[in-house]
Amino acid sequence: MPKNCNFIEKLREVGLRPTKQRVNMCEVLFNREKTFHFTINDLVKMISEKMNQKISLATVYNTVHAFEKKGYLKEISIDSHKSYFDTNTSAHHHFFDEDTNELIDCDENDIDPVNIKKNITGKKINSVEVLIKVASDNHNQK
Amino acid sequence: MPKNCNFIEKLREVGLRPTKQRVNMCEVLFNREKTFHFTINDLVKMISEKMNQKISLATVYNTVHAFEKKGYLKEISIDSHKSYFDTNTSAHHHFFDEDTNELIDCDENDIDPVNIKKNITGKKINSVEVLIKVASDNHNQK
DNA sequence: AACTACATTATAATAATTCTAAACTATTGA
DNA sequence: TCAATAGTTTAGAATTATTATAATGTAGTT
């Protein structure tokens, strides 16, 4: 039984057809020890290498968005020019290293739960995200 | 003495030439009771109306970025397609209403200080931002 | 196997932002 | 005051990121 049966089933469960491209993308994204962060460009390269052939940019966008809608991926926006996706879809926070442009997960021990004391009337909270921008002490930021 | 002397001085202090466009932009942005949030497009409209003539989009981008670099403005990125600027440059957090696409300041009473227990070695914290996405209970988000 | 619905692709279209080079303007100092 | 210069604005071109299109391909169903 090939190891990608996992992903074929997983895709079916959420109503996505297990196409060659999607299964390959699943393997690139989820068949690993630790979750990670990537940009669309990163991903295009990784999948093309894995498949040993080009994958259409449009397919990568479509599929990433399909995965995002189904809760397989989460977008993390740093500023208007830097946007990442995260394969860790659980609620968690991030450090962003402005020297290296690296996004780093906070684990539960790094930060106390955020205590929100007032809410917007008639609205429910969908997400709470903390972004901590760091840089080396001597770094000339922005 | 015209009220914009304020801004001419302010601009000089941070090393920006007080051009007509910059002084007008200052008045639109800072000559008001409360701080506010805007997009580049919002701002182009507001300035063109105030000046009663077109302002170049490039100038608005340039000037917003100049103000941002000098600490007059702060960018708030919601996701890869929604980016706002904030005339409130003090450290504070935001609610984002996904129904109306409205960005709302948290005041100090709305949220306890974020307690970060571990830092990245050799790095100092430049900013800590909390974004709380809200929507009406029955709203079908994303 | 054949049908249908959905997916992928290359390419075109769109949108947002930045670049360019010419014209313009604030500042400096003679 | 006036010219020199350094920085600014502008329209439009270029670039970049993303989405739309329409033809072709593929998975699921009968």
Domains and CATH numbers, chain A: 5-78 (1.10.10.10), 91-142 (no CATH)
Structure tokens at B15: 């090393």
- What residues 73-132 of chain B have any CB closer than 8 A to a CB of chain A? 75, 77-80, 83, 95, 97-99, 104, 109-112, 114-120, 122-132
* Residue B1 pLDDT: 39
Mean pLDDT of A12-18: 95
Mean pLDDT of A97-111: 92
* Residue A5 pLDDT: 61
Q: Could you tell me if A46 and A55 are in contact, meaning their C-beta atoms sit under 8 angstroms apart?
A: no
Q: Tally A–B CB contacts below 8 A.
A: 124
Residue with token string 């306890």: B112
Mean pLDDT of chain B: 91
* Residue B142 pLDDT: 38
Structure tokens at A20: 């060659």
Q: Is the pLDDT of residue A43 over 80?
A: yes
Instruction: Give yes or no for CB of A62 within 7 Å of strand D.
Output: no
Q: Where are the alpha helices (DSSP H) in chain A?
A: 5-13, 20-30, 40-51, 57-69
Q: Is the pLDDT of residue A67 over 60?
A: yes
Q: How would residue A16 be classed by pLDDT, with cut points 50, 70 and 90?
A: very high
Nearest nucleotide to the CA of B17, by C1', is: C26
Mean pLDDT of A127-136: 95
Q: Could you tell me if A93 and A129 are in contact, meaning their C-beta atoms sit under 8 angstroms apart?
A: yes
Min Cα separation A3/chain B (Å): 31
State whether A120 and B95 contact (CB < 8 Å).
yes
Q: What is the largest CA-CA distance in chain B?
A: 54
Mean pLDDT of chain A: 91
> Looking at A1-5, A77-81, B54-58, which range is the least confident one?
A1-5
Q: How would residue B141 be classed by pLDDT, with cut points 50, 70 and 90?
A: very low
Q: How would residue A133 be classed by pLDDT, with cut points 50, 70 and 90?
A: very high
Q: State pLDDT tens for residues B32-55.
A: 999 999 999 999 999 999 999 999
State whether A126 and B80 contact (CB < 8 Å).
no
Mean pLDDT of B99-128: 92
State whether A77 and B75 contact (CB < 8 Å).
no
Q: Is the pLDDT of residue A1 over 90?
A: no
Given B95, B118, B123, which is nearest A109 (Cβ)?
B118
Nearest nucleotide to the CA of B56, by C1', is: D10
Select the more confidently predicted residue: A84 or B138.
Answer: A84
Mean pLDDT of B110-137: 92
Chain B residue with minimum CA distance to A119 = B110
Mean pLDDT of A114-125: 91
Mean pLDDT of A91-115: 93
Residue type at A95 in one-letter notation: F
Mean pLDDT of A121-135: 94
Q: How would residue B5 be classed by pLDDT, with cut points 50, 70 and 90?
A: low
Residue type at B133 in one-letter notation: K
* Residue A75 pLDDT: 96
